[in-house]
């Protein structure tokens, strides 16, 4: 299967800040999964290696048809994008796109935070989106996310637990969790979100596509194809794609996601509290069933105490 881009781990040897001396590429490319049209996904690892002895960083090689577009990372949580930089292999002439990390004069390298952080990010070039899930060597991204969720739930349980000293301290500071006012605000917010989702914002984005020669909207590539291949039935022209990936929708997604995490944690803590209360009730019922109105006194034991 042919992909519009290739992903590998590479190691760049720099002569100076702007000059590449050598590029060492990993032998095998990183597996890419197709999600839908224009949507891809891959899994990377922290502290990756090009081979056993050489450290590597994630890099992308884009096909010639998309080479005019600068790829960039999207940070949805902060609503910013970070452009990548290109490096050219002096031996093969192959162009790779990498993180535009901070330059280190002492070590002569560009920093790559992607190599040492677990999580998710997304790289975009033209209308192609690739989701990157970064895991450690020992755990997958989903496993680490599950452990983090477990830690978060346990922390919430510690704060909300009645016999926890943290709970008492929090109450003195008037920190309120799961109060009626909060629940009412969440309910109101969900209604507003549902209303906004019925009519999401969208915009038209430009893309290149094959069009009939008599209907083509020309771009520089159109004239290049005519000059090199002559007139044909279909030529590359300017097309448009409806996209919901706009600032308003990204912001809405971010706050909905945070609300989901908040409500999910509240529900998890509530379920755990219910389970604990049910166990307490069962234990108390068991003790009550052992009580009786008849008292038995050990005669010998009491006589011994009287003598003492």
Domain boundaries, the chain: 5-135, 203-243
List alpha helices for 165-246, DSSP H. Answer: 165-172, 180-197, 220-229
pLDDT cut 90: percent of the chain above it: 13
Most confident range, picked from 17-31, 192-206, 278-292: 17-31
- Distinct helix (H) and strand (E) counts, the chain: 6, 15
pLDDT in tens, 150-180: 666 566 555 555 554 444 444 444 444 556 7
β-strands 128-135, 39-45 pairing = parallel
Q: Is the pLDDT of residue 8 over 90?
A: yes
pLDDT (average), residues 262-272:
82
Give the pLDDT mean for 211-237: 83
Calculated CA dihedral for residues 34, 35, 39, 43, nearest 10 degrees: -70
* Cα–Cα distance for residue pair 297/290, rounded to 1 Å: 17
Coil/strand/helix, residue 59: strand
Across residues 79-83, what is the average pLDDT?
75
161 CB-near residues (< 8 Å, 6+ apart): 167
Q: Hey, which residues does 25 pair with through a beta bridge? A: 10
pLDDT at 138: 61
Residue with tokens 């020309």: 218
**Tokens representing residue 39 in the block:** 């949507």
| pLDDT confidence band for 96 (50 / 70 / 90) | very high
Do residues 14 and 21 touch, judged by C-beta distance below 8 A? yes
What pTM value is reported for the model? 0.48
Confidence class of residue 98 from pLDDT cuts 50, 70 and 90? very high
Q: Two tokens at 164?
A: 């926890």
What pLDDT sits at residue 264? 84
């Amino acid at each position: 299967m042919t992909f519009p881009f290739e992903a590998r781990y590479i190691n760049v040897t720099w002569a100076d800040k702007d000059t590449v001396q050598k590029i060492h590429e990993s032998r095998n490319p990183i597996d890419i999964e197709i999600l839908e049209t224009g949507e891809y996904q891959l899994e990377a690892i922290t502290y990756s290696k090009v081979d056993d002895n050489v450290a590597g960083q994630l890099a992308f090689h884009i096909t010639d048809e998309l080479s005019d577009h600068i790829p960039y990372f999207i940070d949805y949580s902060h609503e910013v994008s970070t452009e990548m930089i290109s490096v050219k292999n002096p031996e093969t002439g192959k162009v790779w796109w990498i993180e535009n990390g901070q330059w280190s004069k002492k070590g002569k390298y560009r920093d790559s935070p992607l190599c040492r952080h677990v999580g998710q990010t997304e790289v975009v070039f033209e209308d192609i989106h690739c989701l990157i899930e970064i895991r450690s060597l020992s755990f997958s991204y989903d496993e680490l996310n599950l452990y983090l969720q477990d830690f978060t739930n346990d922390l919430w349980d510690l704060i909300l637990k009645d016999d926890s000293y943290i709970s008492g301290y929090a109450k003195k500071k008037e920190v309120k969790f799961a109060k009626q006012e909060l629940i009412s605000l969440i309910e109101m917010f969900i209604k507003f979100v549902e209303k906004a989702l019925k009519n999401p914002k969208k915009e038209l984005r430009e893309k290149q596509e094959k069009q009939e020669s008599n209907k083509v909207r020309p771009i520089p590539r159109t004239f290049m194809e005519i000059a090199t291949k002559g007139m044909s039935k279909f030529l590359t022209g300017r097309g448009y794609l409806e996209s919901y990936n706009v600032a308003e929708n990204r912001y809405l997604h971010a706050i909905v996601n945070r609300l989901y995490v908040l409500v999910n944690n509240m529900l998890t803590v509530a379920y755990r509290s219910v389970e604990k209360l049910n166990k307490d009730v069962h234990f108390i019922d068991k003790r009550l069933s052992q009580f009786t109105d008849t008292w038995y006194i050990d005669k010998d034991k009491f006589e011994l105490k009287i003598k003492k």
